[in-house]
Amino acid sequence: MRLSNRQSAELALHRSSTELDPESVSEVRDVLALLGILRGADDELLSMTLDAHRRPMNPYANT
């Protein structure tokens, strides 16, 4: 965790978290552009990102 934290970049959010709640692939693209990441990502990746946002899950949970 510490290594990941040190390797990460801080994202300056200029909007509230409610304004960063995308409803569509185009809104995901807008949010990522605002953050300056994943420029040029295709619609399939953005759709997967939106699905993960809508249905968050803990990959380490015992299910």
pLDDT digits (tens, 9 = 90+) for 46-61: 999 889 888 888 878 8
Q: Give the ranges where 23-62 is alpha helix by DSSP (H).
A: 25-35, 43-54
Confidence (pLDDT) at 20: 62
The helix or strand, by DSSP H or E, that contains position 4, with its residue range, turns out to be helix 2-7
Mean pLDDT score, 24-45: 87
Cα–Cα distance, 26 to 2 (Å, whole number): 33
pLDDT at residue 36 above 90?
no
What pTM did the predictor assign?
A: 0.57
pLDDT digits (tens, 9 = 90+) for 2-32: 888 888 887 776 666 556 678 899 888 888 8
Confidence (pLDDT) at 5: 81
